[in-house]
Structure 1
């Protein structure tokens, strides 16, 4: 049975903020802070796991393996990117069942042509509306529990314009999507109008450096959104910190610098769970010392 908490929070009208996690360290940090949900981003999981662009190269198996590990490290509901569903209608069914079995709480499927590309990069094209409507219907029909939510994303704004994107959002909602994701909206006015036109919860993509203006949770709620993902923040912060540390080491020959703050080693040991190892060693010390 899928985790019901995400669905319940949406039903109660609670605004949900989900940071993007891209590896086990970011997942554990998000867990420690205590978010209501986390977002497993295809862009950032692909970058951290395979070191390649989010351009439809990562496979279903790549993503499922990585998403499964995020689920294991998070007690919060996991919203997971599944690109285009990794193929046709049969692939969508297989993907939905695999993600649900892995413990994901919500799956995101988009209407780009294959191979897909990151939603804030050029050269994206979308499939015909009726093709994506069929995918949404198959996704909804394939889930085992209604607590497992289907997020339908449209990338039509960039190539076809705002009205076409909203038209698709309405169609995907009518096809049974639990949440609608209109990608790359370019102003507060567009965000407000999209939320007003689509009769389902909408998700805001607060991707740093993307086309959509970054707004705080309170502002997004006022615009009409029900939840927001911040997919890039943790990865960009980690990349900036590591780049600064590497450059400092290269120029100074040491890791010690007031300009490069480091996590304490003891704190990191706590983050990854070494206390459990030490407790085990203490409990079984007499046996282990024989």
Structure 2
């Protein structure tokens, strides 16, 4: 039964779909998937892709977003998410987890995980959250080496390599534009400029750079929260909502735990919970039941001598 235990769509087809989406003129919306179940919901609701946020993943491990997670941890988590969805999955690969050779290895490892692409950033390794102050970035030449190593390691030409620059918040938008052009020349398929502030900033960047662009709409950061349609009208090709699902979940979890602690029961919150039947629907329990009965309903005849 295709699409039951794992997605029916191959990694290659997901990558092709992502590239076609980026070239379609319609913005590709990628909410953060904090686990495989969330990825299934993202697909069911009708988004174009899913995103694996480094910040959300490190937070889920009880760690700050300062480069403490490893390639192995990120790859394992990303593979679990990509396995269950027919959507393309874009992964935050930080700085590539080391020097240019490490960035090259990161591409091969994440290709093997079945994701559609990754982004590499120009921060100094180890990095920090893109919406914090005090970031440091490597030279343009060093980031170009990082990207060239990544591109050279790519085996599937449809695997998307996105270059993120944090230069706007340090050296200004013009410097970020210059870097974006250098990164595109180095082989980046998509540019992600972190921590632009206003709609006018996004418009200025779009006017200056002629390859696909990704916008980051994260809450409580430096960027104005701009609707997807407005970003599409400006000319952006993709938008991520990296930590939104984690914040929604943790807000509800904290509220619920405090209520249980105060009252000794969760009974007042039951109407706000996902029901058992809805969870089973999302997990496709009925299809598993059909699969089981289809496999194990045979009988063994008498052996012939």
Q: TM-score under structure 2 normalisation?
A: 0.89
Matches within 5 A, 1:12-31: 12-31=24-43
* Counterpart check, 1:251 vs 2:297: no
For residue 211 of structure 1, give the secondary structure of its aligned residue in structure 2: coil
What do the CA deviations read for 1:171-208 (whole angstroms, capped 9, x no partner)?
Answer: 11121110001100011111111111111111000001
* Counterpart check, 1:127 vs 2:128: no
What do the CA deviations read for 1:192-233 (whole angstroms, capped 9, x no partner)?
Answer: 111111111110000011111111111111222111001121
2:217 pairs with 182, 191, 206, which one? 206
Task: Please tell me whether Structure 1 or Structure 2 has the larger radius of gyration of its CA atoms.
Answer: 2
Contact 1:180-1:200 within 8 A present in 2 as well:
yes
2:183 pairs with 158, 172, 176, which one? 172
- Following superposition, the deviation at residue 271 of structure 1 comes to 2.0
For residue 109 of structure 1, give the secondary structure of its aligned residue in structure 2: strand
* Counterpart check, 1:81 vs 2:130: no
Structure 1's unaligned 5+ residue stretches are none
- Following superposition, the deviation at residue 140 of structure 1 comes to 1.6
* Counterpart check, 1:42 vs 2:54: yes
Aligned to 1:101: 112
2:76 pairs with 58, 65, 69, which one? 65
Distance 2:50 2:162 in 1: 14
Contact 1:40-1:81 within 8 A present in 2 as well:
yes
For residue 41 of structure 2, give the secondary structure of its aligned residue in structure 1: helix
For residue 153 of structure 1, give the secondary structure of its aligned residue in structure 2: strand
For residue 274 of structure 2, give the secondary structure of its aligned residue in structure 1: coil
For residue 257 of structure 1, give the secondary structure of its aligned residue in structure 2: helix
Distance 2:195 2:271 in 1: 34
Aligned to 2:19: 7
Q: Bigger CA drift: 7-16 or 102-111?
A: 7-16
* Counterpart check, 1:186 vs 2:202: no
* Counterpart check, 1:263 vs 2:274: yes
- Following superposition, the deviation at residue 39 of structure 1 comes to 0.6
Number of residue-to-residue matches in the alignment: 286
Contact 1:244-1:260 within 8 A present in 2 as well:
no
Where has structure 1 moved over 4 Å in runs of 4 or more?
A: 280-283
Distance 1:268 1:192, change over 3 A: same
Structure 2's unaligned 5+ residue stretches are 1-10, 300-305
What do the CA deviations read for 1:83-131 (whole angstroms, capped 9, x no partner)?
Answer: 0011111111110011112111111000000110111112210001100
- Following superposition, the deviation at residue 275 of structure 1 comes to 2.4
* Counterpart check, 1:231 vs 2:242: yes
